[in-house]
Structure 1
């Protein structure tokens, strides 16, 4: 079993990966970010949508949102939050390495560093090719990543996250000459210890630009946050946008 196919990872550590704070941030990004300003009715594919943190605010703004995720429990949570918010969205179970809907979307988003999961570099590139094929001519892809340059400023420092009923510890380790990253999680709750690890490729802005070009995208831009700021030494995230040629 590959790590991202482990349902226990997402059910056990999902509340850490998709916290209430992240839900609030997603709502604010959709409301304020110039990178997420779409014409009402835009057909948006949220690839690796998780529990719907971006699905709900995008649907609330009148967009036709499709959320795709491999994990059914995440999709069930997304369906629940959509129902609570009174919005409609199409939710589909699927593998991002295979998911293709030719010319069906105006925008593809991929948030929370949900890229680079496959051990084979060509399969990660195929995700971008799938997104390219799924977009209409002139459509855009928008990716939110923890860029290699940002990661380098703090990687290796253990972090602790307090929870109402426990505590979680996280440690990152760089692998294979800065090619991949392993994140080890330890959750201590009710006297029990749970552990999980995530291993994925980590990319610089230049590497992402090259991959998007290889997948057929043009007019590729890199930003240091959802505010559209420059990707420089002050960046907190790597936001990459590319366009399918008309």
Structure 2
């Protein structure tokens, strides 16, 4: 199974996760013992590697199937992570985290009002001057490129696939989780609102966050209309 990560064709491996985690840790510059929330953590591949670095990690996802895998993999990695099943619209943390990450187009599934409300809840969950790192699909790039993506867990047991169609700024995302051992499949379909950078800036400003930097990929390249990702680092104003 190949991994087409937003147009970058390469085989998925632990090396890919390591690059992403290295980018996350470099950008956030957290110290062991600091707290981080992986918002919509999936099956925990970032959360687990961050916990290995001594960070106090909480992983939240709405899909219990993904969390079941994450718990299993965290136990195998011998790391302690708090996993919670929760809709991101129902976050109830108060100044608990030094940083929050939201990776791989996990934002924009609801109405504009609800999406903006989620960012307000993120800001509330952050400690003063806390950081929010969000990884979004680049709407400008999406118009011109194929968006099908596949990940295979390093164990070979699970494969996660995304197929995305974009029309008028709305992306229809079909997600499928396959157990390669049992052959079982779990399928989900979501409608994703793809935001522009000015739109995200307005949402952040209304929530008390300021954009610090933008990136076009996990290699740290600058964001532009030609980069597949729009990764935004924002800081809580107070």
Selected match of 2:192 from 167, 190, 200: 200
Work out whether 1:213 is the aligned partner of 2:217.
no
Structure 2 gaps, min length 5: 6-10
Question: Which structure has the greater CA radius of gyration?
Answer: 1
List aligned pairs for 1:1-246, cutoff 5 A.
Answer: 21=12, 24-32=15-23, 34-118=26-110, 120-155=111-146, 172-175=164-167, 177-178=168-169, 180-184=170-174, 197-246=189-238
Q: Which whole-Å CA distance do the structure 2 matches of 1:24 and 1:81 have between them?
A: 17
- Find the residue that maps to 1:218 and give its secondary structure: strand
- Find the residue that maps to 1:92 and give its secondary structure: strand
Q: Which whole-Å CA distance do the structure 2 matches of 1:187 and 1:71 have between them?
A: 11
- Find the residue that maps to 2:60 and give its secondary structure: strand
| Deviation per residue, 1:13-69 (Å, 9 max, x gap) | xx999xx92754222222355224322212000010111011111000000000011
Q: CA RMSD in A?
A: 3.5
Say whether the 8 Å CA contact 1:112–1:144 is kept in structure 2: yes
Structure with larger RCO (C-alpha < 8 A, sep 6+): 2
Say whether the 8 Å CA contact 1:212–1:220 is kept in structure 2: no
Aligned residues: 224
Q: Which whole-Å CA distance do the structure 1 matches of 2:55 and 2:161 have between them?
A: 37
| Deviation per residue, 1:199-246 (Å, 9 max, x gap) | 110112222222111221024422111233211144231101111113
Structure 1 gaps, min length 5: 1-14
Q: Which whole-Å CA distance do the structure 2 matches of 1:186 and 1:194 have between them?
A: 6
Q: Which whole-Å CA distance do the structure 2 matches of 1:193 and 1:94 have between them?
A: 22
